[in-house]
Structure 1
Amino acid sequence: MNAKEFQPSWFAGIMGTGIFSITSLIFSQYFSFLRSFSYFLFYLNILLFIIFLSLWIVKFFIFKKDFLKDFYHPLVSNFFSAFGAAMLVISANIQMLFNNSFSFSFGFWIAGTFFTILFGIITPFIMFKENHIKLDHICPAFFIPPVAFIVIPIPGSFFINHFQGWVNDFIIFINYFSWGTGFFLFLIMSAISMYRFILHHPLPNIMAPTIWVNLGPIGAGTTALIKLTKASNFIISKDVFYGFSFLLWGYGIWWLLMAISLTIYYSKKMKIPFTLSWFAFIFPTGAYITATHTISLIFKIKFIDYFGFIIYFLLVFFWFATFFNLLNKKTGNS
């Protein structure tokens, strides 16, 4: 891979590996070795992030025309938001793994929030003012910017009660603005996506894995809302928000079953060749697993946690299958 060919969609791999680390830590309660595995994934992810960031910086300075051209690509443009989301996932990862690394987590959150909002405005602006987007281009990849916005409060809610005065007010503002923006953009894109699924021809086989992206805003939205509600002392009646989170999580079960069914259909009907779109299998599944664990803790329903643990094995398969194929492709064995 050279810098000129580097695409922001690679940062979806950082998001996926980060959530894989988080879910592995969560389920180390069942298998203790998963804790060490979680740390391994985290350090691997940091290394990959540094490599990917370096390539992207080189592309910006040396191949700026190609860098800017990606903004006008109907699908690639959506993955600019994955850069900010990757840093947000790393921030959440640091919070869970290292109790005394507040400054590192906060730094990644600030940077991730800035780039998520920046690209979350630039990308739709270009789409709105141009006419290069066609119905054929519509797919769940368009959920990436909403997902990135929704992820902001997951690590961000942790900082609400660590500051005072205007800084505290600003952090609260950013967290609620981000969740609201991401959630309602998700609803809008869901309607457009459903329109394409029902009234247009099926997705091309290389885009089939993006069906799983729909789980991203559902899972991240559930976790973010619960974390925000717990951290917001000004919310007196928290049960209402917890109840809505439960409903949102429940909707995810339908999408999980739909994603599994459509993946089986595509794999049998037209095969699913390996591309970077396979990253779509990982983060959304991990986000929903995290939400499942969070719901089980809030409502004290152990069965739900077991359900999440079952899905975790699917995540293990997705991550290893994706990265094995990636390494195989890069070493020229496929």
Structure 2
Amino acid sequence: MEIAEEKSRLKFFPIMMYAVVMGLSGLTITYQKAAIWLNFPSIIGEVLMYVTTIVFIVVSSVYIRKFSKYKTAVKNEFLHPVRINFFAAVSISMLMLSIIYKENFTFVSAIFWYLGTALHFYLTMHTISFWINQNQQLDHSNPAWFIPIVGNVLVPIGGVGFANLGLLMYFFSVGMFFWIILFAIILNRIIFHNQIAVKFMPTFFILIAPPAVGFIAYFKMFGVIDTFALMLFNLALFFTILVAFMYKNFIKIKFFISWWAFVFPVAAMAISAMLMYNQSKEMSLLIFSYIMVAVVTIIVSIVTYQTIVHIRKKEICIGE
């Protein structure tokens, strides 16, 4: 009986589990940068680096096992109008691990970056082709559509030193262009059509990610805080304030693994704030940086606790 139940849960192991790796990666990078810019203890980032890597290996091992035993289930996920967007979380996890290892383990960083970039290029092309070739229902659109797009903007952050500016600008341009296009589509759906399903409410936080990550990528490539960089930072700040203003939408919703979507965008905003403080030395940005680091830590603590509780209750890997 237990063996049959274990097999069933393996069959329903969701690709969304890579959102856990994305969230932990965001927390890790946040503390790595806090050690540099805010004088936090560097040991925190180092420990989180290994924890994140272990989680990535475990999630990947389980999903590979699922693929070997339940290819049809994986294929169905890959053809699902919503879940297809979460496959980009695999390549994004690799790109974020590349950033995590960049300072101290360049060779490991390069491996993650080249593999992550190649995989993300394919997933971006496949996802957009899927949108074009398959009739999409407006009810299927949600902020998770930004996941394949954000990955393109992540490529330049880890890619400086591994590739020339032309290639990095290619990914940056694609990410920025489709961010604007998809935002218009999703805003239209949110305002004029049915509300997004409750389990995808946490994905609203992903609205923060494109401008926040774009700001970091732009600075990494050009090393300046100009008008365009300030626009990206301020847009990220606007969406951060917006989701904070809408806090009542999130505090009472039932736990889903998509809660991990809270973490990565908030971490991107925290890193953006610290970067902006490092360049301007404004006290308000220093205070904001501390607040954002605290918020990221609190969210990860809550989501980790809820994930463990629901894993023990066997409520994670179940059919819908």
Question: TM-score when scaled to structure 2?
Answer: 0.90
Are the equivalent residues in 1 in contact too, given 2:156–2:169 (CA < 8 A)?
yes
- Equivalent residue in structure 2 for 1:138, among 126, 138, 141: 141
Aligned to 2:168: 175
Check the 8 A contact 2:18/2:89 in 1, yes or no: yes
Paired position in structure 2 for 1:166: none
Give 1:1-334 correspondences, 5 Å limit: 2-28=9-35, 30=38, 32-33=40-41, 35-96=42-103, 98=104, 101-131=105-135, 133-160=136-163, 171-230=164-223, 242-267=226-251, 271-332=252-313
- Cα distance in 1 for residues equivalent to 2:270 and 2:262: 13
1:216 and 1:330 map into 2 onto residues whose CA distance is 28
Q: Unpaired segments of 5 or more residues in structure 2?
A: 1-5, 316-320
In 1: Cα distance, 2:124 partner to 2:220 partner: 22
Please identify, of 2-11 and 69-78, the stretch whose mean Cα deviation from structure 2 is larger. 2-11
Provide the rounded CA distance (Å) in 1 between the counterparts of 2:239 and 2:294.
Answer: 18
* 5+ residue gaps, structure 1: 161-170, 231-237
Q: Report the CA distance shift for 1:12/1:174 in structure 2 as closer, same or farther (over 3 A).
A: farther
Q: Distance in 1 between matches of 2:44 and 2:106?
A: 22
Query: CA contact under 8 A between 1:209 and 1:263: conserved in structure 2?
Result: no
Supply the distance in 1 between the matched residues of 2:249 and 2:70 (Cα, whole angstroms): 40
Question: What amino acid maps onto 2:216 in structure 1?
Answer: T
* Distance in 1 of aligned mates of 2:67 and 2:123: 15
CA contact (8 A) 1:246 1:295 kept: no
Q: Structure 1 residues 333 and 178 mapped into 2: Cα distance closer, same or farther (>3 Å)?
A: closer
Distance 1:191 1:201 in 2: 16
Q: Distance in 2 between matches of 1:184 and 1:202?
A: 25
Contact kept in structure 2, 1:71 and 1:126, CA below 8 Å: no
Deviations 1:63-97 (A, max 9, x none): 1111111122121100111100101101101124x
Which range moves more in the overlay, 146-155 or 118-127? 118-127
Q: CA deviation at 1:219?
A: 1.0
Structure 2 contact 34–274 (Cα < 8 Å) conserved? no
Q: Are the counterparts in 1 of residues 154 and 213 from structure 2 also a CA contact under 8 Å?
A: yes
Instruction: Report the CA distance between 1:46 and its aligned residue.
Output: 0.7
CA distance in 1 between counterparts of 2:191 and 2:95 reads 34
Shift of 1:262: 2.1
Measure the CA separation in 1 of the matches of 2:266 and 2:50: 21
- The Cα offsets for residues 19-73 of structure 1, whole Å up to 9 and x where unpaired, read as 101111222354644x222212111111111111112222223211111111221
The CA RMSD measured in Å over matched residues stands at 1.8
CA distance in 2, matches of 1:250, 1:190: 16
Partner AA of 1:111 in structure 2: L
The one-letter code of the counterpart of 1:206 is: K
Bigger relative CO (Cα 8 Å, ≥ 6 apart): 2
TM-score (norm 1): 0.87
Task: Report the CA distance between 1:285 and its aligned residue.
Answer: 0.4
- Distance change (3 Å), C-alpha of 1:159 and 1:297: farther
| 8 Å Cα contact 1:87-1:109 kept in structure 2 | yes
Distance 2:85 2:286 in 1: 32
Alpha-carbon separation, structure 2, partners of 1:121 and 1:61? 25
**Could you list the per-position Cα deviations for residues 216-250 of structure 1 after superposition, in whole angstroms to 9, with x for gaps in the alignment?**
111111000110113xxxxxxx56xx321111111
Letter in 1 for 2:152: F
Question: For residue 165 of structure 1, what is the aligned residue in structure 2?
Answer: none
Summarize deviations over 1:164-194 as a string: whole Å, max 9, x none.
Answer: xxxxxxx433211111101111111110111
Shift of the alpha carbon at 1:266? 4.6
Provide the secondary structure at the position in 1 that maps to 2:127.
helix
